[in-house]
Structure 1
Amino acid sequence: MSYSARAVRIGYLVLGCVLLALGVIGLVLPLMPTTIFLILAAACFGRSSPRLEAKMLAHPHFGPTIRQWREQGAISARGKTLACAGMALGVASFWFFARPGLWLGIGGTAVFVLCAAYVLSRPAPRAEA
């Protein structure tokens, strides 16, 4: 393996670990997402450590969600509800605590609305045979 290929692999491994840590933090912080960080961590591990990727895919709680996203681009109804509720709480907190100027507030809200629209546009997972 060349030096540059090894450096890229290590970079993906480090990024995967950082994303995994952010996902774990999201388990305890209400406004911090969890699933997207775990999906991205699994993608990084897929390019750097097949063993860690396999562990994430085999996880009893998060594995099915990661596999559904990879295979179908799907988000469950519960996942959509939690994601949109978290985003709504985030927007409300942003307006209440940050007290942004009008245009910053509108811009921030627009980003959340676009993210929510994307989440809602994803299909529901198909039943596995």
Structure 2
Amino acid sequence: MVLREIDDSLALINIDTATGAPPDSVKSPERFICGTEGTERKCQYHAEKSGGSTRFVGVWHTHPVSMPEPSAVDLQAMAQILRLQAKTPRHVVMLIIGHAATSPNWRFHLFRRSEFQIVEYADGQA
């Protein structure tokens, strides 16, 4: 989880905190599925500690042996964050650290709710 704020008027993303994986995350050498356990409590804690200026702005993860480009799984996660919550944010950032195992290369990706389309697959799942 990445916490702080996105300032549209200045085209600026400020980051205060990047947390580790929630305890209900699923991890393997081939795949990582980020859990949600404790994330709401963590967001509330940081919001209270900062007087409301620190809030959830996105997620981060590594691609140990590949480029820092969003995968299909990453895009599905962004769709869930942007469209499938009770309180959907206007936009979120995804930080991917590519080639993390050998030569880290950081890349930020900004996803805006108004520009993000969910594509329905033939089996009915997004």
Fold-level similarity (TM above 0.5): no
From the CA coordinates, give the structure whose radius of gyration is larger: 1
Which structure: greater strand fraction? 2
Q: What's the TM-score once normalised by structure 1's chain length?
A: 0.28
